[in-house]
Structure 1
Amino acid sequence: MSQHFVSTLFAIRSYFTWLPPSIVSILMLVIVGILGFYCGNLVVALILRVPGSRSVALIRTIVSALRRPAKLLTSLLAMLAALPAATGFTYESEQDIKLFLLFVLVLTFGFSMIIVFRHMTEAYLNRLSSKDETDDIMIRTHQTQIRVLRRLTEIMVGIITVASALMLFPSVKQYGVSLFASAGAASLIVGLSARGLLTNLIAGVQIAITQPIRMEDLVIINGDWCWVEEINATYVVLRVWDWRRHIVPISYFLENQFENWTHNSAAIIGVVFLWLDYQAPMDRIREMLNEIIRTSPLWDGKVFDVQVSDCNAQVMAVRIIASARNALQSWDLRCDIREKIIARIKEECPESLPRTRFAMMPPKPGSEGLADDWFSPPIERPGPGSYMGPGTPPLGK
C-alpha cells in the first residue's frame, strides 16, 4: 500500500515538471500533510458518532481527548510516507526533514499515551467514587494507589519519550553515550543535587504500597485537622477545615509521627467533658443525656456512656463519649450535646452548675466564730434599733 501511495505521488509529480524540484517537493509535503490532517479529523468524527454501551462511551471520551494529537499523528505519518517521493531535496536535507518529522512524531505519540492512561485511570476513579459506600477503605486504598502510580507513570513515560526523541539525532546520541561513559563524578553531583526529588519519588511508591495515608483520610498536622486532598509524586495537599491548604513533602509521612483518624475506619468516638457541682443529681443528668443522644441523627447508635471521670476541691468532671460515622459528624454531635445539656441543666437542675464556696471557720474547735475585733480596721456593726436610712427598717425589727 505504501508503494502504491508513493507511485501515485510520482504520477502526480510528473504534471509539475515545469516547477523547480525543491518547490514541488515542499508543496507536495504540505498538501499531503493537510490531507492527512483532515483525514484524521474525519476518523475522529466517525468514531465519536458510534453509539454503544459504557465501554464505547469510554472510547469516545479518549478519542475526543486525542482529537488534536490524532490529527497531528496522521499528518506526520502521511508526510513520512510521502517523503520518498520528494526527490527535489538533497540527501542531507531529506534526512534532516525525516529526523524532524520522527522527532515530532515520537513526542506526539508519548503525549498521546499519557492522555490515554490519564483518562482510563480517571474513568476508573470516577466509577469508584460513584459507589454508595461512605466508609469503604478499599475504595480509598485504590484511589491512593492509582493517583500516586499514575503520577509516577506519567513522569516515566515523559522522560522515556523525550529521551527517545533526542536519541534520534546522532550528535545527541553520541553525546549521551560519552556522558554515560564518563559519568563518575557527574552522576554523583547530579544524584546529590536531586536527592530531595528522588527521596520523594521513592516515598511516593512506598506510600502507594504501605498506605499510611489515603485519599480523604483525616490527619492531624501541626494541631490542624486536615483531609488528604491530593497525593502527587513528590508532595501531598492537605485541606484544613477552614479551607486552608498545607503543602507537605510526601517523605514527611514516612519520616515523622502523625495522627491518622481514619486509617481503618471513618467512624470515630467523640468525648465531651462537663464540670458540675457535687450537688448534681447524676441519675437525672444521665437520663437527660440519654434523651439527647437517642434523638440526635448524628449518633451512629454504637457507643454512648456517661462517667464521673475526675473531681477536685470545687467540681467533678463528667465524661460523655458518643460515636459518629465520621469526624465531621462527631464534631457536630459533641457541639450539639454541649449546647442541649447545658440548657437543660440550667432549667431543670441549676444546683448542678459549678459554684465557688467560702466558709468562715473558728480558730479552734468548739470556739465561736470570728470576732469583730479580729479584723483590721475593726468593723463597727450597727446595734439593734439603729436607723440605716430612708425606707430601711431599724435592725432587730
Structure 2
Amino acid sequence: MNSVLRLLSVLAGSALLTFTVSWLVHLLLRRMDARHPETPLWNLLRRCRLALRIVLFAALLRGAYRQVDWRPLEEREAGVGHVLSLVLIGAGAWLVVHIASAAVESSYARYAAGTRDPARLRRVRTQVTLIMRVVTAVVAVVAIAAMLLTFPSFRTLGTSVLASAGIIGIVAGIAAQSTLGNLFAGFQIAFGDMVRIGDTVVVDGEWGVVEEVTLTFLAVRTWDERRLTMPVSYFTARPFENWSRGGIQMTGTVFIHCAHSAPVELMRKKLYEVLRGCPTWDGRAWDLAVTDTTPSTITVRAIVTAKDADDLWTTRCAVREALVAWLAEEHPYGLPRITTAPAAVPSDADRVGSGAGGADVPADAGYRR
C-alpha cells in the first residue's frame, strides 16, 4: 500500500511541478509580449506550452521513478526507463522545432514590418520556409538517431555501420541521384532568387502563381485553381517565364480587328476614357495605334498597364469589351464586314461576241450570287 501511495505521490508531484513551471513560463511570456508588442516572438513561444509540459513531465518521471519501491515497476525498470527516454527525446525535438519556428517567424515578421518591397518579402519568405524545413528535417534525423542509440542492439552495430558508411553513401548517392539533385536545386532556388513564393510564372504553357516551395518540389496555382506540382530541378534546368522579376507591374496589349473606315482617333479617346474608369489600371501608360492592315481589315493595338498579372488580365478584358461595344453602338461601320453584294449584270452590247469565231456568252455566265 505504501508503494502504491509513493507511486501516486511521485506522479502527482511531477504533474503539479510540471503545470506550475509551465504556468510560470506562460505568465512570463505573456508579460514579455505585453512589454514588447513590436515583436511577436513571445506570443509565438507560448505555442510551445504543450511540448514543454511533456518534456518536464517526462524528465521528472525519468529522474524519480527509481525511487518508487513497487515490485511491478522494479521488474520492468529498464523498459520503463527506456520508454521515458524515448518520450523525452521526441518531446525535446518537438520543443526545439517549435522554438526555432517561433524565432524564424518572428524575424520574418519584423523584417516584413520594416520593408515595403514586395519582391524582397517574397524572397525572404521563400528562404525562411526552406530554412524551417531544413531545421525540422535535421532535428528529426538527430532525434531518430538518438532514439535508435538507446537500443543496445544498435549500439553494438555502431562500429560496423561506421565502417561501411562510405560504401552505403556511394550506393545511396547513386540510387537517390534525382532526389539529391532536387534537394540542391531547392537551395539554389531559395538563395539564388530565381523564383519566390507569390511570383507569377509561366511553365509548360501554363500561367500561375507560385504557392509553395519545398526542398524537392514546387507547387504552382493556375488561374483556374489547379495545382501544378513540379520538381524544383525543372526551374534550374529549363527556361521559364517569371513575370514578377524586376517588379510585379506589367504591360499588356489588346488587339481589335476593324474595318478600314474605323475612327482610330475617336477610338484612342475612348480608350483613355475607359481606362480612367477602370480601377485595375495603374495609370502608368496607355496607347492605341494601327499595327497591321489586310485587304479587308486593319489591326488596332491598345497598350495598357497594371500593377500585377491579375489586374492586367482584368484591364485587358474590360478594354476589349468596352471598345467592341462602343464600336457596335456608335460606329458600326468601323467593324469588319464581309461583302456579299451581287455583281453587275452585263448589258446587251457586252453580250455580243468578239466576231472572231467566238460564241455568244450567256447573260448569266460566270455570275453567281
Give 1:119's aligned residue.
102
Rounded to whole Å, the distance in 1 between the matches of 2:277 and 2:254 is 17
Rounded to whole Å, the distance in 2 between the matches of 1:242 and 1:150 is 30
Residue 75 of structure 1, CA deviation: 1.6
Rounded to whole Å, the distance in 1 between the matches of 2:367 and 2:258 is 38
Q: How do 1:51-70 and structure 2 match up within 5 A? A: 51=31, 52-53=34-35, 54=37, 58-63=41-46, 65-70=47-52
Give 2:86's aligned residue.
103
When structure 1 is superposed on structure 2, of 54-63 and 41-50 the one drifting more is: 54-63
- For the residue of structure 2 that corresponds to 1:66, the secondary structure is helix
Residue of 34, 47, 57 corresponding to 1:75: 57
Give 1:38's aligned residue.
16
- For the residue of structure 1 that corresponds to 2:304, the secondary structure is strand
Q: Is the 8 A contact 2:351 2:362 kept in 1?
A: no
Residue 360 of structure 1, CA deviation: 8.4
Matched, 1:154 2:144: no
Residue 214 of structure 1, CA deviation: 0.7
Amino acid at match of 1:373: P
Give 1:243's aligned residue.
225
Q: Is the 8 A contact 2:45 2:99 kept in 1?
A: yes
Rounded to whole Å, the distance in 2 between the matches of 1:201 and 1:30 is 50
Q: Is the 8 A contact 1:140 1:214 kept in 2?
A: yes
Residue 177 of structure 1, CA deviation: 2.9
Q: Give the direction of change, closer, same or farther, for the CA distance of 1:56–1:82 in structure 2 (3 Å limit).
A: farther
Rounded to whole Å, the distance in 2 between the matches of 1:30 and 1:203 is 55
Q: Give the direction of change, closer, same or farther, for the CA distance of 1:66–1:259 in structure 2 (3 Å limit).
A: same
Residue of 332, 343, 350 corresponding to 2:332: 350
Q: How do 1:306-385 and structure 2 match up within 5 A? A: 306-357=288-339, 373=362, 375-376=364-365
Deviations 1:56-100 (A, max 9, x none): 86324323x222222221122212332564577899965554444
Residue 130 of structure 1, CA deviation: 6.7
Residue 180 of structure 1, CA deviation: 2.4
- For the residue of structure 1 that corresponds to 2:104, the secondary structure is helix
Rounded to whole Å, the distance in 2 between the matches of 1:101 and 1:281 is 85
- For the residue of structure 2 that corresponds to 1:213, the secondary structure is coil
Deviations 1:240-284 (A, max 9, x none): 122111111222211222111112211000110011111123222
Unaligned runs of 5+ in 2: 353-359
Amino acid at match of 1:276: C
Q: Is the 8 A contact 1:37 1:72 kept in 2?
A: no
Amino acid at match of 1:48: H
Residue 339 of structure 1, CA deviation: 1.1
Q: Is the 8 A contact 1:269 1:324 kept in 2?
A: yes
Q: Is the 8 A contact 2:26 2:49 kept in 1?
A: no
Amino acid at match of 2:21: V
Residue 207 of structure 1, CA deviation: 1.1
Kindly, what percent of the aligned residue pairs are identical?
Answer: 28
Q: Give the direction of change, closer, same or farther, for the CA distance of 1:265–1:27 in structure 2 (3 Å limit).
A: farther
Rounded to whole Å, the distance in 2 between the matches of 1:343 and 1:159 is 64
- TM-score (norm: length of structure 2): 0.83
Matched, 1:221 2:221: no
Give 2:26's aligned residue.
48
- For the residue of structure 1 that corresponds to 2:303, the secondary structure is strand
Rounded to whole Å, the distance in 2 between the matches of 1:372 and 1:37 is 115
Q: Give the direction of change, closer, same or farther, for the CA distance of 1:164–1:128 in structure 2 (3 Å limit).
A: same
When structure 1 is superposed on structure 2, of 267-276 and 113-122 the one drifting more is: 113-122
Rounded to whole Å, the distance in 1 between the matches of 2:78 and 2:272 is 85
Rounded to whole Å, the distance in 2 between the matches of 1:180 and 1:360 is 94
Give 1:9's aligned residue.
none
Residue 162 of structure 1, CA deviation: 1.2
Matched, 1:260 2:238: no
Rounded to whole Å, the distance in 2 between the matches of 1:106 and 1:115 is 14
Residue 344 of structure 1, CA deviation: 1.7
Rounded to whole Å, the distance in 2 between the matches of 1:208 and 1:356 is 56
Structure label with greater radius of gyration: 1
Over aligned residue pairs, what C-alpha RMSD do you find? 3.3
Matched, 1:209 2:198: no
Residue 227 of structure 1, CA deviation: 0.8
Rounded to whole Å, the distance in 2 between the matches of 1:378 and 1:210 is 70
Give 2:265's aligned residue.
283
Rounded to whole Å, the distance in 1 between the matches of 2:149 and 2:328 is 81
Rounded to whole Å, the distance in 1 between the matches of 2:285 and 2:366 is 60
Q: Give the direction of change, closer, same or farther, for the CA distance of 1:378–1:302 in structure 2 (3 Å limit).
A: closer
Q: Is the 8 A contact 2:218 2:231 kept in 1?
A: yes
